[in-house]
Amino acid sequence: MNALQVRKMTYAALCLAIAMVLPFITGQIPEIGSMLCPMHIPALLCGFICGWPWGVAVGFIAPLLRSVIFGMPVMFPTAVAMAFELAVYGGTAGILYRLLPRKKWTVYLVLILSMIAGRIVWGIARLVLAGLSGNSFTWALFLAGAVTNAIPGIIMHIVLIPVLVMLMDRAGLTLNKPHMDEETES
């Protein structure tokens, strides 16, 4: 294992730890705590910082692990659907951020596309899980869960994540760069 892989693994573990703890902080604001979508932040950051494989792994594991350890989110259907959603967040952010030019607008574009893709996958997962359990998942439920109830989180993500990514890029902490070849870095 080379030094770059160890750094990515360390950052990914830190993102996973943040995903475990952050909901406790936002949960102190009962009116909008869950609407802030706190577990989305580390999954997206991991994709931006470490690349798509790590973003997918952290995004998929975080809600399932948190459900097993703390009982929240509820495993079925919430944590299962979130696992797919957050995996897409981390994966999409990682792939697009690596492929697109490094401009300020790129961070916003990648973030918005990742959030749209993740919410679509969340809706599909909820639809499948509802079908498996004999329930229905309507268009109104999708819009409420993916958009209406998530507006505070969407706003917070659009404000917070680009700033964090740009600061980490400027500090040289972003490991998801086109010129970084994992085979030759050490």
List the Cα angle 24/108/172 in 5-degree steps. Answer: 80
Give the integer Cα–Cα distance in Å for 51 and 39: 18
| Whole-number Å distance between alpha carbons of 145 and 51 | 27
Q: How confident is the model at residue 134 (pLDDT cuts 50, 70, 90)?
A: confident
Domain 3-170 is found in CATH 1.10.1760.20? yes
- With the CA atoms of 70, 74, 76 and 80 taken in that order, what torsion angle do they form, in degrees rounded to the nearest 10? -70
Answer whether 165's CB lies under 8 Å from 48's CB: yes
Residues 54-73 have a mean pLDDT of: 97
Contact 25, 39 (CB under 8 A): no
Angle ∠(22,73,90) on CA atoms, nearest 5: 60
pLDDT at residue number 178: 74
Q: Which residues of 105-126 are buried (b: 16+ CB within 10 A; e: fewer)?
A: ebbeebbeebbebbbebbbbbb
Average pLDDT of every residue of the chain: 91
Instruction: Output the pTM of the full model.
Output: 0.91
C-alpha angle 127/133/135, rounded to 5°?
A: 60
Q: Would you kindly state where each structural domain of the chain is located, as residue ranges?
A: 3-170
User: What secondary structure letter does DSSP report for 147?
Assistant: T
Q: Is the pLDDT of residue 112 over 90?
A: yes
Q: Report yes or no: 110 and 82 within 8 Å, Cβ to Cβ.
A: no
Residue 186's pLDDT is 39
